[in-house]
Amino acid sequence: MEFAVCEASRSGKDWRARGAVRYPVRLPVTLLANGLQFKAVTEDFSASGVLFRLTETLPPGQEVEFLVEIPAGTLDFSHTAAVHCWGRIVRSFWKGGSPCAAAVIDEYRFQ
């Protein structure tokens, strides 16, 4: 499977309004939405949200659940960490021929 690189927008209100530092981390994840599984790769990650590259589009407002494994040495973690996240898609767009979606993380738990 090939993906295009999705870059976070650095123009307009979206970028200025972000309250958390975003880290450019590419990790494979499986999203659960409406009982279906969607393959994705994170493009950037913060404590409050994540930008995904997807193989299919997900609409704004769609609730999602995902488990992400963050390898040791990534995001200042000294050990590998698994984080179970619940959130919702807040923005969907196409970049370089691939669908992307930004999600806010409403709740998370370290496993």
Please provide the average confidence, as pLDDT, over all residues in the chain: 84
- Tens digit of pLDDT for each residue in 31-47? 999 999 999 999 998 88
Kindly state whether residue 38 falls inside one of the protein's structural domains: yes
In three-state secondary structure terms, 95 is: strand
> Model's pTM, two decimal places?
0.77
Q: What pLDDT shows up at residue 47?
A: 84
- Is 76 inside a domain boundary? yes
Q: Which residues is 39 bridged to in the sheet?
A: 30
CB-CB contact of 53 with 6 (8 Å):
yes
Q: Are 76 and 47 in contact (CB under 8 A)?
A: no
- Taking every pair of Cα atoms in the chain, the longest distance, rounded to a whole number of angstroms, is 36
Please report the pLDDT score of residue 14 as a whole number: 47
- In this structure, how many other beta carbons lie within 10 angstroms of the beta carbon of residue 58? 23
CB-CB contact of 96 with 3 (8 Å):
no
Within-domain flag for 4: no
The total of structural domains in the chain comes to: 1
What's the average model confidence in pLDDT over 83-108? Answer: 96
Q: Average the pLDDT over 74-94 and give the result.
A: 90
CATH (domain of 99): 2.40.10.220
- pLDDT tens sequence across 2-29: 333 334 444 344 444 557 888 898 999 9
